[in-house]
Amino acid sequence: MPQMDPQQIIETQRQDWNRVAPAWEKWDTLIDRNMTFINYRLAGDARLRSGERVLDLGCGTGYPALLAAQAVGHQGSVLGLDLAEEMLAVARRKAKTLGLKNVTFQTGDVTALSFDSASFDAVISRFCLMFLPDVPKAVKEIARVLKPGGYLAAAVWSAPENNPFISLPMNALKTFLTLPPPDPEQPGIFRLAKPGDLFGMVERAGLQGLTDEELTGESVYATADEYFSSLMDMAAPLQPLFAKLSPDQRKQAESEIKRAADQYRKGKSVAFPMAIRIVAARKPQ
Ligand SMILES: C[S@@+](CC[C@H](N)C(=O)[O-])C[C@H]1O[C@@H](n2cnc3c(N)ncnc32)[C@H](O)[C@@H]1O
């Protein structure tokens, strides 16, 4: 498959996530409820301590930066970096509501970090690294900006079969569109799902690998309608594919996705299993 131009990938990411930022703000309570445990896991795996300086890569609307800011306290500080200014605007509003003064948000590209070497005690990242055009290069940059003894803790999506709330819509799309099999070398939701993949890159970048684990949880929605609406609003990578369907096909896809979601029904709500790959590492002293 032809390789995409890295700058084009980054520009597409920026546009995609800026477009869905209002939806991420609208559904913030739902995201927070389903995903907060991952923030705690990352803060723990990065061994955050009060007074530390932390970098959150691809922080979007502030996850896990906002929790990290609470963990490092007023003597520490957190910098959230993201391509999408509109996502960061939401993050800033949330920081203000929480009264956090030790967190700042800055636009920037994870694949070209502009920070001095050895300037952060910890680097954390939730659901960003698999979207980068050159993950090994980004991981080398992470290793560079970490202080000796500093920690990296990252969350990426695990395999599609363990994340039906993401794979159901993709399966429904396949009824109408010929989707090429995901290229393991190209950015995408499941690009780093394989055990050992990100972990290997981290070790090759000179970090000491500590954890490569599948963490499971549940993504719970009040109703199948809530699941479908929030998904369609927020899923930046899926939107361009749904846009290719005719209005009639879209209706059919919607009823197929809701029908498939039914097998995860618990009373009135829908509870999907989900699986996240957690990778943690430390820069040698
Ligand atoms: C799925 S969102 C995750 C946001 C947040 N970390 C969370 O877990 O809620 C992915 C984020 O990665 C950001 N992103 C993608 N490629 C990036 C890059 N090269 N540099 C910085 N941010 C990037 C996007 O703008 C988007 O906000």
φ, ψ for residue 36, nearest 5 deg: -60, -35
What are the tens digits of pLDDT across the range 11-33? 999 999 999 999 999 999 999 99
Is 131's C-beta closer than 6 angstroms to any atom of ligand 1?
yes
Q: Are the beta carbons of 199 and 143 closer than 8 angstroms? A: no
CA separation for the pair 6, 158 (Å, rounded): 24
Is 58's C-beta closer than 6 angstroms to any atom of ligand 1?
yes
Give 3's pLDDT tier (boundaries 50, 70, 90): low
Is 13's C-beta closer than 6 angstroms to any atom of ligand 1?
yes
Q: For the chain, how many residues are written?
A: 285
Residue 16: per-residue pLDDT: 94
Q: Are the beta carbons of 23 and 233 closer than 8 angstroms? A: yes
Give 60's pLDDT tier (boundaries 50, 70, 90): very high
Q: Are the beta carbons of 24 and 234 closer than 8 angstroms? A: yes
Half-sphere exposure (Cβ direction) of 117: Cα atoms closer than 13 Å = 5
**119: Cα separation from own chain's centroid:** 23
What structural domains and CATH numbers belong to the chain?
A: 6-159+183-217+276-282 (3.40.50.150)
pLDDT at 186 over 90: no
User: Cβ neighbours of residue 158 under 8 Å, at least 6 residues apart?
Assistant: 190, 193, 214, 275, 276, 277
Give 182's pLDDT tier (boundaries 50, 70, 90): confident
Question: Other CB atoms closer than 10 Å to residue 285's CB: what's the count?
Answer: 8
Mean pLDDT for 269-282 is 98
DSSP-derived letter for residue 33 is: H
Mean residue pLDDT of the chain comes to 95
Residue 1: per-residue pLDDT: 47
What are the tens digits of pLDDT across the range 242-265? 999 999 999 999 999 999 999 999
Q: 181: CA distance to ligand 1 center in Å?
A: 23
CA separation for the pair 159, 164 (Å, rounded): 9
Q: 39: CA distance to ligand 1 center in Å?
A: 15
